[in-house]
A and B are shown apart, each in its own frame.
Chain A
């Protein structure tokens, strides 16, 4: 990996984010109702709205407004939340941290479970264990988060004898045990479908690797099966697994919105829903941009990891 390559990739991320700013801004312009109406409420007279529009600069050409918004963004100023009367960066900052905790927990759990399960089913391909796990995984991929979330709630947080809290959030700084208690159900709901999907992908990658000429050659060298699987097959299956996981991060970002709402997790998803209900445009814009940035950067990160895992991948 050359520094020039890394620079080019960062440049590409910046380009993507810039295109996203245009899209985000255009969508908020097209939506009915604007900030002036939001601030004044639905009973404001047209005169009052017009006066407020002038005060907020909403009567200027769209291009000027866009450039001003972009200029402020670049300085880290996302504006004020219309609803909460707080700087957007404060509101979004803490929500982002909470969401990141949830997503990271889910992602680590998914990876730790899905990759070995995928490998196992590929090695045991065609056996009862493979069929059983594959069937479960197949059902798992077919169940969206709101279904698994409800199921988890019914099983683990039923009123009367709840094993786990049905919702809420405790910062890990306050109580690590409390944090884990609260994160298990939402992370589980978020992770189940991804686990199923990634395990299936890893199984198919690993099956291809196991059918390859070099695995055959390794076996015909007389190597023991353990060495064939761990020494020859596994290193070749890891890079594709990372690629699948990074693609699934996009799905994770969507799932988090639903799951946070169900489990009352004070993260970006909940904030986004609140902002949408209240047409809190600056907050919507900031969250959308943030999600786009997370996705673009996680893709970059996965490419770096793949390059580290596979000697053939040499980015110039």
Chain B
């Protein structure tokens, strides 16, 4: 920290990356990961590094930590920490520097904590190593840091194993470990991506507080432009290994110089920019759930006396709502809220009690669901990798529903497959390809095309954009809305992205612990009569900074 202050005095940046290039050696030749990257972070500032998957943002973090795989080749440049080039340091010097002068907070706290060691020992070992404290002093200091990160009973937490703590608690432990050695810089690699909405918000607030308290310099890596606009004073945008934009936040957001940045800013879901225009016919009810209940863990089998009593979890509790023809209904909630339970129930994949009315018929259980229903209700899953058979060509995948429901004569099928591909803006010759030859976004388009191939009246979309990059996500969402409006199919859009759902849903249902707690018109999201939980969720999500907001937020910068 003293170094940092000295640096602040003479205006020297804490981290200065100069013309840095990195490639990975592969059997097919070197692959460039970073190309002539230059950026710097001034003392006490937070630099947000934004990029999509594969852009090289994490490679830069590994390079700074000097933790590169054996096949990495550094072709040019310097990585300067307070005047010292990290590239010239020996492994021993680096081991002494890691965790003491530069720390790192990772994406998934569940994976980055050792499962068989107590949390307290995992904090204390860093203090023993870098601050030469005794075991006892290290534990006391660790406990004090846990308290500073807002853990309510720190001494109890010290003795817990990772699996005995929640995701938010684990991330607090990781953050406490990073801050405890008083480093000059901390690298945050998507620290909230693996967490629930409200927990993520709390971690973000914690980051702000600790940053203000300690004045640490931070590199904040994220794919989420909205989030970065909230935490960082400076922003660097990286695309295909090159920095395309670097400057103060207000510059990057209001006057982006590069077209890639402009596209990225535009792709960030913004609840004020609706992408759905038409309204469903208010009279025409398509589907209604009446007191639907789902229990998990109530399976019976012949050897059950040899198994422990399983805890029964209620996935859905007395859920009732209706859906009109041609309506897009968004369902939001945190993980475990029951939103996917509703998706599985309506897709006929989950046992349930209560009744589901669809058109003229009513179904009182999974086994009552018939072929006509299955054809009329299609589902698109989160991970296209898992839902497309890797051994079938795209053409075969798309012709399955046509054959199953006998929708077009055999001779017409390949023509219809080509139509379907065109309708999701994919080239016709993709019919010959296998799923692994397509990108993530393309695969999800195929999955959408397959759902629409059955000419359904309702399509359930279960987190279909969450595994995709922001720009791809935007185009998939637009495609879905486009198809939905052309065909008049109703859509149940399940997501945890509140900004996205406010862009495209007519109405939004909020679920929590299996209960449907709120249901409202999208335009009424901020109305005073909203359920407190809905308001809490909406408040937790950073809305992309608009030009007008930037200046006021930037004033917090030290």
Partners in one complex: yes
**Chain A contact residues, CB within 8 Å of chain B:** 4-5, 8, 11-12, 15, 212-225, 227, 231-232, 235-236, 309-312, 315-316
List residues 409-465 of chain B with CB under 8 A from any CB of chain A: none
Q: With A8-B308, A224-B95 as given contacts, are A219 and B116 in contact (CB-CB < 8 Å)?
A: no
Q: What chain B residues lie within 8 Å of A212 (beta carbons)?
A: 111
Closest chain B residue to A232, Cβ basis: B114
A224 & B115 in contact (Cβ 8 Å cutoff): no
Q: Are A310 and B98 in contact (CB under 8 A)?
A: no
Q: Is B125 an interface residue (CB 8 A)?
A: yes
**CB-CB nearest in chain B for A219:** B67
Q: Whole-angstrom distance from the CB of A225 to the nearest CB of chain B?
A: 8
26 contacts between A and B (CB under 8 A): A5-B308, A11-B305, A11-B306, A213-B111, A213-B112, A214-B112, A214-B115, A216-B67, A217-B112, A220-B98, A220-B99, A220-B103, A221-B99, A221-B103, A221-B126, A221-B177, A222-B95, A222-B98, A225-B95, A227-B125, A227-B129, A232-B117, A235-B116, A236-B114, A312-B163, A316-B308
**What is the 8 Å Cβ interface bit string for chain B, positions 56-99, against chain A (1 contact, 0 not)?**
00000000010100000000000000000000000000011111
- Give the distance in Å from the alpha carbon of A5 to the alpha carbon of B104 in the complex: 41
Number of interface residues of B (CB under 8 A): 31
CA–CA, A236 to B114, complex, Å? Answer: 8
B contact residues around A215 at 8 Å (CB) = 114
A-chain residues with CB within 8 Å of residue B106 when the two chains form the complex? 213, 217
Q: Which of B114, B161, B305, B308 is within 8 Å of A218, CB to CB?
A: B114
Q: How long is the Cα–Cα vector from A315 to B307 in the complex, in angstroms?
A: 10
Q: Could you say which residues of chain A place their CB within 8 Å of the CB of B108?
A: 213
B97, B116, B129 pick with most chain A CB within 10 angstroms: B116
- Chain B nearest CB from A103 CB (Å) reads 28
B99/A311 in contact, CB under 8 A: no
Our pick among B96, B99, B112, B115 for the contact of A312 (Cβ within 8 Å) is B115
Q: A214-B111, A221-B99 are in contact. List 13 more A-B contacts (CB 8 A).
A: A8-B307, A213-B111, A214-B114, A216-B112, A217-B113, A220-B67, A221-B125, A222-B129, A223-B99, A223-B126, A224-B129, A235-B117, A311-B116
> Is residue B45 contacting chain A, with contact meaning CB distance below 8 A?
no
A residues less than 8 Å from B113 (CB atoms): 214, 217
Inter-chain contacts of B99 with A (CB < 8 A): 220-223
Determine if B97 and A4 form an interchain contact, defined as CB atoms under 8 angstroms apart: no
Taken together as a complex, chains A and B put the C-alpha atoms of A312 and B110 apart, in Å, by 13
Q: A311-B115, A311-B161 are in contact. Are A220 and B129 (CB under 8 A)?
A: no
Task: Find out whether the CB atom of A222 lies under 8 angstroms from the CB atom of B100.
Answer: yes
**For the complex, what is the distance from the CA of A212 to the CA of B113, rounded to whole Å?**
10
Whether B306 pairs with A222 at a CB distance below 8 angstroms is no
Please give me the residue from chain A that is nearest to B95 by CB atom: A222
CA distance A316 to B108 in the complex (A): 28
Q: Which residues of A contact B95 (CB under 8 A)?
A: 222-225
Which chain A residues lie closer than 8 Å to B305 at the CB level? 8, 11
Q: How far, in angstroms, from A27 to B115 measured CA to CA in the complex?
A: 47
**A236 and B125 contact, CB distance less than 8 A:** no
Cβ contact within 8 Å between B98 and A12: no
Chain B 123-154 near chain A by CB (<8 Å), digits 1 or 0: 00110011000000000000000000000000
Cβ distance A129 to chain B, nearest Cβ, rounded Å? 17
A315 to B130, CA, bound (A): 38
A8 near B306 with CB under 8 A, answer yes
**B 191-227 to A, binary, CB cutoff 8 A, 1 in contact else 0:** 0000000000000000000000000000000000000
- Considering only residues 257-305 of chain B, those with a C-beta below 8 Å from chain A are 305
CB distance from A299 to the nearest CB of B (A): 14
Per the bound structure, the CA–CA distance linking A214 and B112 in Å amounts to 4
Which residues does chain B contribute within 8 Å of A218, judged by CB atoms? 114
Closest CB of chain B to A15's CB: distance in Å?
8
Instruction: Give bound CA distance, A5 to B98, whole Å.
Output: 45
B308:A231 contact, CB within 8 angstroms: no
Complex alpha-carbon distance, A188 and B9, angstroms? 71
Q: How far is the CA of A121 from the CA of B44 in the complex (A)?
A: 44
Q: Which residues of A contact B307 (CB under 8 A)?
A: 8
Q: Which 9 pairs, one residue from A and one from B, show the smallest C-beta to C-beta distance? A: A222-B99, A222-B98, A213-B111, A221-B99, A217-B112, A316-B308, A214-B114, A311-B161, A235-B116
Given contacts A4-B308, A213-B106, A216-B67, contact A221 B129 (CB under 8 A): yes
Which of chain B's residues have a CB closer than 8 A to the CB of A310? 115-116
Structural contact, A220 and B114, CB atoms closer than 8 A: no
Across the two chains, which residue of chain A brings its CB closest to B92?
A224
Please name the residue on chain B nearest to A309 by beta carbon. Answer: B116
Q: How far is the CB of B119 from chain A (nearest CB, A)?
A: 11
- Min Cβ gap B145→A in Å is 14
B117 neighbours in A (Cβ, 8 Å): 231-232, 235
Q: Looking at the assembled complex, report how far the CB atom of B129 sits from the nearest CB atom of chain A, in whole angstroms.
A: 6
Structural contact, A222 and B114, CB atoms closer than 8 A? no
Contact (Cβ within 8 A) B65 A223: no
A220 touches B163 (CB 8 A): no
* Contacts A217-B106, A236-B114 given; does A222 touch B308 at CB 8 Å: no
Q: Which residues of B contact A315 (CB under 8 A)?
A: 308
- Residue in chain B with minimal CB distance to A8: B306
**Nearest chain A CB to B460 CB, angstrom units:** 33
Distance in Å: Cβ of B122 to nearest Cβ of chain A: 8
Q: Which residue of A lies closest to B187 (CB)?
A: A220
Q: Do B111 and A220 touch across chains, with their CB atoms under 8 A apart?
A: no
